[in-house]
Structure 1
Amino acid sequence: MSLAERPRPAGRPFPARLRQLRRAAAFWTERRIRLVTGLVLFAFIALHFANHALGLVSLTAMEEGEKWFGRIWGGGPMRALFYVALMVHFALALHALYKRRTLRMPMREAMQILFGLGLPLLIIPHVLAVGLAEQTTGHDADYAHVVHALWAAPANALQQVAALVVAWVHGCLGLWFWLRFRPWFPRIALPAFTIALLVPVLSILGFVAAGKEIGSGLVTVVRHPATPAGAALAAQASLAVHALYFGAIAATLLARALKQRRGLLSGFRVTYPEGQVIAVPIGTSVLEASRIGGIPHVAVCGGKGRCSTCRVRVIEGQGALPPPHAAERTTLERIDAPSDIRLACQLRPTANLRVAPVVTAELPRLDGGATLAWRAGAERSIVVLFCDLRGFTAMTERRLPFDTVFLLNRFFAAVGEAVESSDGYLDKFIGDGALALFGLGKPQDAACADALIAAARIARAADALNRTLAQELGGARIRVAIGLHTGAAIVGHMGYGRAASLTVVGDTINTASRLETVAKEHDAELVVSVELAERGGLPLKAGKRKIVAIRGRSAPLDVLVVTDARRLDEKMAVAG
């Protein structure tokens, strides 16, 4: 029977299996494999450091914790997973180093690479000492023996502490690079930073406490010196591992140098707007070419194709460019980029071209407290409050300019105090109105509640001003119209020079502004979207529910019209 005549086994047809394998191969990119292996190693390190922290309780607690740690990582499958993740992660780090066209990079990227490559050098002695303890001394190495051996040689103890810090910083940097642009990351940034700071501190303190307990003589440790054969085995193993480590790095750097030398024979040139021309080997990205030539080029995500800040306009040579890969194509489609716009970090030309960076590298001077996400712009869910004085033009027709300024300043002060006392951020004053933001550092539900409380305080403040300034107002009344809405917006520092400030753009802001106009049309103090009211804990019976058309939105919006907003916070407290 020929091969073609043989019956195929029952089950999925071969082409379907092939498509499945291709999809799996497309999913498991080098970046995802590096991420998964890094998470495995980070989990191991985190549990190991937590075990160290038990030294603050006692050495016995550390030993008990080691038993639980051994149950998780001591078994065959988990131990194999750890060693595979360790070797694959290190190999991918070397491969990433090999692929880099330039070693010029931001400090945070350099720290992650140096810490990752330097970590094995710090932990090799410790791993060999623990792993070969039974072969070299005839006894297993428990916590008491390991801590005693480290504290007996202070240099070893310092090396262990350095390895602990380097491993933790490398892992935390990797997590930060991975998560920093997630819309929910700002909500967990503070607790995550607190944990990231506490874990190594508690681990080091636990290690020190265990050393003191042993040094005090409360714990008797019987030393098991290595036999001559064991010492020779340890020396040979150390020599072999160090040779493998340094050999792998040297081979990577040598291969990288040879690749660059070959590439220089078939390179291309990138021309920039100021006339700079950078010659680089084929395979180099435009972003790498900028760094090689020392040309400032914005790349907020570190050149991973997760943002569009490095994008360039291709002025000449567009016809010879390779098509965008999946990551670049996704980002370009999201920003609806025209055909002549490419991501510099992903574009690897094969012929000469002329480009112009779209985002200038000369960013405005901002306050020192601004985070990288706010400087570059970040999408997140916020709450927007628009507040305006009703009938302000008629109120000021017969007033002197200085009297008008006095009145506005009293109103603005009242609004500012109400917003800031409710954990809001006063963005700006626009004419006789104000724009405030909530939720820049809080979960969205809490921000909705804060904004509703601020609206109630603004309404009460307007009522108090009417009583205080009754004589100045001459029978007129200060009346407010407030619009509240929640949703996604782009938050970032915008402007120029001293006028640069933190602000927001997006449909959420436009909708909140329209709701403030709706409040005037319905002779109400507040119009709030039902979604915000429900998330903030405001009972819907506090106002009249309506479906209103919002200019600029294709679908109408379900809102709550509140005629008197002065007691909103009290109604929320009763409902809660």
Structure 2
Amino acid sequence: MTTVSATGIFSERTIRRARLGSGLVIFIFVLLHLSNHAIGLISVAAADKGAHLFLMIWRNPVGTAIFYSSVLIHIALVLRAIYMRRSLVMPKGEMAQIVLGLMIPLLLIDHVIGTRIAHAFYGYIDDYDAVVSMLWIRNPTNGMRQALGVVAVWIHGCIGIHFWLRYRPWYPAFAPLLLALAILVPVLSLLGFVEMGRTLADPSYRQAMTISAYKEGVNTHYTSNPEVHRQVAMIRAGLYGAFSASLLIVVVARARRKLKERLDQVAVHYPGGEVIRVPRGFSVLEASRLGGLPHYSVCGGKGQCSTCRVQILGDYENLPAPDKMEQTTLRRINAGPDVRLACQLRPNSDVAVAPLLVPAVEAALPANSQETSPGREREIAVLFVDIRHFTTLTETRLPFDVVFLLNRYFAIIGKAVEQAGGRLDKFIGDGAMALFGLGTTPEEACRQALNAAAAIVAEIEKLAAELADELALPLRIAIGIHTGPAVVGTMGYGRVRSMTAIGDTVNVASRLESAAKEFEAAIVISEPVASLSGADLSGIESREISVRGRALPLKVYVIPREKAAEPLEGKG
């Protein structure tokens, strides 16, 4: 079985975008609807006034067409995704989203019938007085059901938004705020519903209300007319039946496919000797999940990252060719011809593979847990700092004196890095490494790194003056700063695990710190840092240096000690 092309109107990428777009329309509708409910904390009248704006947006021909077409498209694509998924073994977050999504129609069909359909077909005036009275006073069981529906649809939407945004560089910085909103919106909505229900249940409020004869006549006709009840029952049966039949078709189609696939299987061999037999058409990632083998997949098996990549052990030329999306990802990491993405490779014959990113065995993480993620690539700035002539400085000092000096030195670095907005990564002997840009833009990361470097140099000058009489040589430091892509993730062994960064960017930053020592300078920064930060480097010497592993020389700026303690002002 071949994969669907990544291009064209009905490509997987287009279908995924249609599912995302329709989901966003529904989420905006739900957000505005729940926000309107929250206005009920003020009064029923205020909520009704807010509903006028809400209905102006969604109860016109354009709004109605956009919303209900989005609902139909989203449900259809979700059912298609359930059918297309070869294995129902998946991370808990994905499972929760699917289960909640299937519950939503069952919980909210009656609400749709009692509001939108009743209004469109029978002229029912579905203001807050009518709807809340029905759910709170006359049928509280249905009211509880609608409350569960609110929670289900909101959590389903929030999980989808999280999966969509979780690997955006800016998302970690805004995640706490978005989480607060995700909690407040349904809570305030439900509190607004409760407050309106209590208000309408108060006899004194009912006596003071003035209900128009027209509204009372129309709504009474809807609620008491047997013919209307019969028609509504037919509509209800049709909607529940259509959804149940659609779900049943998916279940039957999956069962039929599974029966056929039992007769047509392939074996996936792993380096540890494991052999997992799966139906032809399954991906290697799905084989790993079915067999309970830990296998990285940061993007959830969508081909948008390379963490699930495997090396083909044997003949790789006869495997199905990678589609455009997989080719793009493989080219980005300069993968060899024998490297494929496990989530996209669907072998048509027995195959032997070796995962290239192996989860830590000692962590004993579940096979499909997102906690097995090794991290992801980010654009960051890396700062290395080291004491010059440290051995000469300390060779005649007592060990406790050396510890005292290092602690003073490390405190200066830590405070400067944190105040600038960076993260202190690690101390290495008398050196330290700091990361900037974990929650901000590359431009801001470079500015933060330069500010931290200036603060470190200034404070070290003060410490040098304080200890001048005790040290054999003046206390001097060397700093190197570079920016670029690096893999940031939790690494280590056992309990000694911490977030760090690896990659060429880190290596170059370390080389620039060594270059600062060679040039007898305080700070050496690369040209990308200078460009992104917008620093004014007029009067600062520039050089080109060779960096191991790079074919071309790298342009750097050499900042002497006399100017290093002064923050570099932006251009223009």
What per-residue deviation string (whole Å, max 9, x for no partner) do you get for residues 244-272 of structure 1?
Answer: 22221112101110111011122222223
In 2, distance between residues paired with 1:317 and 1:466?
64
In 2, distance between residues paired with 1:49 and 1:321?
50
**Structure 1 stretch displaced more, 172-181 or 558-567:** 558-567
Q: Give the alignment partner of residue 318 of structure 1, picking from 316, 319, 324.
A: 316
Structure 2 residue aligned with 1:195: 181
Give 1:405 deviation, angstroms: 4.1
Give 1:534 deviation, angstroms: 7.3
In 2, distance between residues paired with 1:352 and 1:393?
59
Structure 1 residue aligned with 2:124: 139
Counterpart secondary structure, 1:321? coil
Give matches, 1:131-280, under 5 Å.
131-134=116-119, 139-152=124-137, 153-216=139-202, 217-218=204-205, 220=209, 224=220, 225-280=223-278
Q: Give the alignment partner of residue 492 of structure 2, picking from 492, 495, 505.
A: 495
Change (3 A) 1:156 1:562: farther
In 2, distance between residues paired with 1:93 and 1:338?
35
Q: Does 1:40 align with 2:25?
A: yes
In 1, distance between residues paired with 2:314 and 2:517?
54
Structure 1 residue aligned with 2:4: none
Q: Does 1:76 align with 2:61?
A: yes
In 1, distance between residues paired with 2:267 and 2:372?
35
| 2:69 maps to amino acid | V
Give 1:123 deviation, angstroms: 0.5
Give 1:314 deviation, angstroms: 2.2
Give 1:131 deviation, angstroms: 2.5
Give 1:161 deviation, angstroms: 1.8
Structure 2 residue aligned with 1:106: 91
Counterpart secondary structure, 2:438? coil
Give 1:114 deviation, angstroms: 0.6
| 1:196 maps to amino acid | A
| 1:151 maps to amino acid | W
Give 1:516 deviation, angstroms: 2.8
Change (3 A) 1:394 1:28: closer
In 2, distance between residues paired with 1:345 and 1:551?
36
**Structure 1 stretch displaced more, 254-263 or 397-406:** 397-406
Give 1:232 deviation, angstroms: 1.6
| 1:252 maps to amino acid | V
Change (3 A) 1:176 1:340: same
In 1, distance between residues paired with 2:372 and 2:382?
17
Contiguous gaps of at least 5 residues in structure 2: 1-6
Q: Does 1:520 align with 2:517?
A: yes
Change (3 A) 1:556 1:536: closer
| 1:177 maps to amino acid | F
**Structure 1 stretch displaced more, 271-280 or 131-140:** 131-140
**Structure 1 stretch displaced more, 64-73 or 104-113:** 64-73
In 1, distance between residues paired with 2:356 and 2:507?
26
TM-score (norm 2): 0.86
In 2, distance between residues paired with 1:68 and 1:507?
54
Is this contact kept in 1: 2:97–2:156, CA < 8 A? yes
Is this contact kept in 2: 1:455–1:565, CA < 8 A? no
In 2, distance between residues paired with 1:138 and 1:438?
60
Is this contact kept in 2: 1:511–1:550, CA < 8 A? no
In 2, distance between residues paired with 1:23 and 1:267?
30
Structure 2 residue aligned with 1:546: 542
Q: Give the alignment partner of residue 509 of structure 1, picking from 506, 509, 527.
A: 506
Counterpart secondary structure, 1:500? strand
Is this contact kept in 1: 2:422–2:448, CA < 8 A? yes
Structure 2 residue aligned with 1:394: 392
Give matches, 1:398-417, under 5 Å.
398-401=396-399, 403-417=401-415
Is this contact kept in 1: 2:91–2:370, CA < 8 A? no
Count of aligned residue pairs for this structure pair: 548
In 2, distance between residues paired with 1:416 and 1:244?
62
| 2:195 maps to amino acid | A
Is this contact kept in 2: 1:297–1:310, CA < 8 A? yes
Structure 2 residue aligned with 1:119: 104
Contiguous gaps of at least 5 residues in structure 1: 1-21
Give 1:121 deviation, angstroms: 0.5
Is this contact kept in 2: 1:136–1:226, CA < 8 A? no
Change (3 A) 1:363 1:460: farther
Counterpart secondary structure, 1:354? strand
Give 1:122 deviation, angstroms: 0.7
Give 1:113 deviation, angstroms: 0.8
Is this contact kept in 1: 2:266–2:277, CA < 8 A? yes
| 1:285 maps to amino acid | S
In 2, distance between residues paired with 1:71 and 1:241?
26
Is this contact kept in 1: 2:386–2:479, CA < 8 A? yes
Give 1:147 deviation, angstroms: 1.6
Structure 2 residue aligned with 1:282: 280
Is this contact kept in 1: 2:37–2:192, CA < 8 A? yes
Give 1:127 deviation, angstroms: 0.4
Is this contact kept in 1: 2:311–2:356, CA < 8 A? yes
What per-residue deviation string (whole Å, max 9, x for no partner) do you get for residues 100-138 of structure 1?
Answer: 222211111101111111111110110011134347875
Change (3 A) 1:556 1:530: closer
**Structure 1 stretch displaced more, 456-465 or 140-149:** 456-465
Structure 2 residue aligned with 1:481: 478
Structure 1 residue aligned with 2:379: 381
Is this contact kept in 1: 2:8–2:14, CA < 8 A? no
Task: Give % identity.
Answer: 44
Give 1:494 deviation, angstroms: 2.4
Give matches, 1:327-476, under 5 Å.
327-362=325-360, 365=363, 375-401=373-399, 403-474=401-472, 476=473
In 2, distance between residues paired with 1:195 and 1:445?
28
In 2, distance between residues paired with 1:60 and 1:204?
17
In 2, distance between residues paired with 1:175 and 1:50?
18
**Structure 1 stretch displaced more, 311-320 or 337-346:** 311-320
| 2:141 maps to amino acid | A
Change (3 A) 1:537 1:218: farther
Structure 1 residue aligned with 2:3: none
**Structure 1 stretch displaced more, 63-72 or 134-143:** 134-143
Q: Does 1:568 align with 2:553?
A: no
| 1:380 maps to amino acid | R
| 1:192 maps to amino acid | L
